[in-house]
Each structure stands twice: as structure tokens, then as C-alpha cells.
Amino acid sequence: MLKKFSALSISLVLIVGILAACGSNNNANEGGATATGTAEGDSSKPVTINMFTASPEYTEAFNAYIAEYKKVKPNVTINLEIMQADYNTILKSRIAAGSTPDVFQTTAGGDIDTFAEYSADLTNEPLAAAMTDAVRSNMTSTDGKVLGLPVKGNLFVLMYNKKLLADAGIAAPPKTTAELADAIAKLEAKGITPFANAYKEWWVWKHIAQHFVDAAALDANISAKELVDQFIAGETTFKDHPALYTNFFAFIDQTVKHGTDKPLERDSNAEVSDFASGKAAFMTGKGAWDEEAIKKITPDFQLGIMGYPVSDKAEQATIITGADQALRINKDSKVAKETIEFFNWLYTSDYGKGWFSNVAKVIPPIKDAPMPNLDMPKQMEEILKTEKSGDLSVNYSLDTFHQKFGELMQAYIGGSKSKDQAIDEIQKAWVQFGSAE
């Protein structure tokens, strides 16, 4: 999230390394720099790379690889600036002002094309070859160029508390809508609240809805991308797809009716706290990035993962994997060459392969890297031995659409919009904001 660009009320600016090389122009460097940022043939000349991201949860991990690279390239200083509140707005204002950072973060998928004109082509770089096939496709533009670097691999699931389900006599996590209704009844009979939600956040809505988009695509016998393209073109709406018009809204209604109090006041941190402290059996709208936060609150938490019960077809309850966040290298940066060299090192070196799993503790987006020693990735590996991953369909729309979608769903559960009003406006937003074109 973001892993996501949430509207949390935090803004963290972190400067790492020697600041003397930094001037008012974020691409300027000291010491007789050439167009690539170093004096030709002299790797001892100072180089400064300015990196602007929206992932404060990885601050310590980013610091670690910056410090490690300093050992490899002592002349390279990486200034890391992390800002989550209003990140998108600030990034766009910097680009418009001609102050594009050397490295910046966007969502993947559709936004790969949105920022294509500012992004270096990485197609033939070692880092692109190192990516898993699924992740590389999330970083690729419509004309076939790799223009992004995955922040991490990701996993989107409905999380559950194994102990609470067992206490309620639920032997296996529900896979169908009927099984979910039965599980809700059993949990409440034991005095257990079924759902923890974070509906104050706009981005949790896209994480939930994509599971129902995948189901609607399966029912229509087309790919999720084809379906999303039809939404964007105005050729279909939620009303044409029972998995969305009926099942998605029914699920949301269930989570509100059978969830923690005041859902529009519960943010991501509150939801994690509710779930980790045993106040609810299921946690909606979240993913693999939350495990460490859960375990910090309750170290022996018995965490389980499952696909969302989206229909009466058990096979449609799939977990979703892929990469939804991308780092971009400014193609016009005076230090583009050195920046690409840095990320080639991170994505191909032994340190880099270990960094994803051992330091960042995320699902590696590259080949030949071990999984982190965490419950969710381990369970993911076991599930994918016998089941297919769902499609990361959030990648086929832009975050400008997803933010509007989240706001409309907030209005729906807040009572200011009816279901049909919300759907009509969702469709208008898809046409207006859904595509980079």
C-alpha cells in the first residue's frame, strides 16, 4: 500500500547519507559531473540519488539497503524522502514543476502507462530479467516496455483468526457465500464479532472489490482485464454482473452489519489492532504487509488466509498475488545511469535476494529468492500448489479511479447514496478516470 497511497495523517521525511551533494535542483550533483552524474572514468566523484516514495512501513528496510550499497559504492549518496499523506498530489506537482525525483513511486498496472513519459526503459536491464514473470507483466507498459521496479510481491486475502473460528466450531474457512453466512451465525452465537474493517481508508475498497471483479470475469468467460476494459469503455456496468451488483454489495453489507463499530472511523491501524487483539474473526481489505504488525501486538496469533467467498462456487474463492506498487527511474535524471546500476545490484546480488525476505520481510518479486519466515507467504505457497491465484485486477485501472471508487463506497455505507446511485457514479468514474489514455 502501499503499499498504498492512503490518506493517513502522517508525513515522514527521511534524509539518509551526506547532504552536501544535494542542491536546490534535485538532479544536481557536485564535482564536475557529466550527464550521467559522475566525472568520466572517475567513480570516486560524489553522486546523489534522490528517492521519493510512499511506503513508510519499509523505512527501516530501505535504510538497510542504502547503508549496504554505501559499502559497495562509497561515492553514491541516496537521499530517501518518504511521504504518505497527499503523496500523489505532491508527486504530480513536482513533475509539473520540472523537479521530478530521480526515483519515485506509483501504482503498477495502468499507472505504468500514466507515467511512461517520465520513466526510464528498463526492458534490457538485468533487474528486469530477475523479476518473476507475473511481476514483470505488472511493470510493463502497453507497448511492451518494462518501466517500473516492483517494491515487493504482494498477497491479497481475507485474513482470519484460526482460534476464533475453531472456538465457534468452524472446521474450515468458508469458500462460498452460504458457508460465509453460516460462519457469521456461528461466530455471533459465541459472542464473536465476525469482521474488522478499515472503511475510513479509500484503498481497502479496491482490495476487496477485485476479488468480485475476478468472479464476474469468470462468469462472463473473459479475462479480468477484458472486463475492466469494458467498464472503462462504458460497455458494461456492475448491474450486468451478479457477482458485483449482488454479491459484492451483499458482502459489504454483511461486513458492516456484523463488523466492528463505526466502520467509517476505523483506519488501517485501528483495524489491525482490532483483529490482532481478538476483537474480530476476519480482517477485510488487507494483505501480506500486515502480518508483522499483527504479530507485534499478539506474537502467538494464529493467522490464517483465505480467498473471499464471492459466490456459490468454491473455486472462485481465490487468493490474489502480484505486484501493485512500482518504483520508477526518472529517464531525464542526470544520475539515471547510476540509479539503474543501484537497482541492478539490489535485484540481482546475493544481498538483494536476501533483502526482500530477511530484511523487508516481503514476498520477493524476483526469481530464486527465499520466502520470508512468515505465516502468510508460507500458506500462500501451500495454497498455490493446488489452487490458482486470482488476477490482480486492480492493476487494470488507475488509482484516480480507485480513490473515487472508495469515496463512493464510503458514501454508500454512510447512507448518503443508495446502491444504484453509487453504482451509477462508479461507472461514470470508470469512464472518466479508469484509463491512462
pLDDT for position 43: 66
pLDDT-derived band at 55, boundaries 50, 70, 90: confident
Residue 4 has pLDDT above 80, yes or no: no
Whether residue 178 sits in one domain with residue 42: no
* Tens digit of each residue's pLDDT (9 = 90 or more) over 82-122: 986 678 889 999 999 999 999 999 988 888 999 999 999 99
What's the average model confidence in pLDDT over 39-63? Answer: 81
pLDDT for position 32: 31
pLDDT-derived band at 436, boundaries 50, 70, 90: low
Residue 13 has pLDDT above 60, yes or no: no
Q: CB 57: neighbour CB atoms within 10 A? A: 18
Is residue 384, in this structure, part of any structural domain at all? no
Residue 33 has pLDDT above 80, yes or no: no
* Tens digit of each residue's pLDDT (9 = 90 or more) over 366-386: 998 988 889 999 999 899 999
Helix axes 203-220, 224-232, angle to 10 degrees: 110
Three-class secondary structure of residue 404 per DSSP: helix
Whether residue 196 sits in one domain with residue 271: yes
Whether residue 163 sits in one domain with residue 73: no
Mean residue pLDDT across the chain: 88
Is residue 353, in this structure, part of any structural domain at all? yes
Whether residue 131 sits in one domain with residue 80: yes
pLDDT for position 398: 87
Is residue 406, in this structure, part of any structural domain at all? yes
pLDDT for position 415: 97
Q: Which domain holds residue 217?
A: 155-321+391-433
Is residue 383, in this structure, part of any structural domain at all? no
Regarding predicted confidence, which is higher, 433 or 246?
246
Task: State how far the alpha carbon of 329 is from the alpha carbons of 103, 132, 203, 333, in Å.
Answer: 5, 20, 25, 8
Whether residue 247 sits in one domain with residue 178: yes
Q: What is the CATH number of the domain that holds 190?
A: 3.40.190.10
Whether residue 164 sits in one domain with residue 49: no
Residue 412 has pLDDT above 70, yes or no: yes
Cell numbers given for 32: 564536475
DSSP code string of 183-230? HHHHHHHTT---EE--TTSSHHHHHHHHHHHHHHHHHHTS-HHHHHHH
Is residue 361, in this structure, part of any structural domain at all? yes
* Tens digit of each residue's pLDDT (9 = 90 or more) over 338-365: 999 999 999 999 999 999 999 998 899 9
Is residue 385, in this structure, part of any structural domain at all? no
* Tens digit of each residue's pLDDT (9 = 90 or more) over 207-224: 999 999 999 999 999 999
Whether residue 209 sits in one domain with residue 146: no
Whether residue 178 sits in one domain with residue 37: no
Three-class secondary structure of residue 396 per DSSP: helix
**Residue 368 class from Cβ within 10 Å (0-12 exposed, 13-18 middle, 19+ buried)?**
exposed
Q: What is the pTM of this model?
A: 0.79
Residue 407 has pLDDT above 80, yes or no: yes
Cell numbers given for 157: 486475502
Share of the chain above pLDDT 70, in %: 89
pLDDT-derived band at 395, boundaries 50, 70, 90: confident
Share of the chain above pLDDT 90, in %: 75
Is residue 215, in this structure, part of any structural domain at all? yes
Between CA 299 and CA 83 the distance in angstroms is 29
Whether residue 125 sits in one domain with residue 242: no
Whether residue 422 sits in one domain with residue 338: no
What's the average model confidence in pLDDT over 251-267? Answer: 97
Whether residue 337 sits in one domain with residue 299: no
pLDDT for position 30: 33
Whether residue 351 sits in one domain with residue 301: no
Task: State how far the alpha carbon of 71 is from the alpha carbons of 64, 74, 235, 358, in Å.
Answer: 11, 6, 55, 19
Q: How many domains does the chain have?
A: 2
Is residue 372, in this structure, part of any structural domain at all? no
Main-chain phi, psi angles of 434, to 5 degrees: -75, -20
pLDDT for position 399: 84
pLDDT-derived band at 68, boundaries 50, 70, 90: very high
* Tens digit of each residue's pLDDT (9 = 90 or more) over 151-208: 888 899 999 999 999 999 999 999 999 999 999 999 999 999 999 999 999 999 999 9
Domain boundary pick from 366, 382, 399: 366
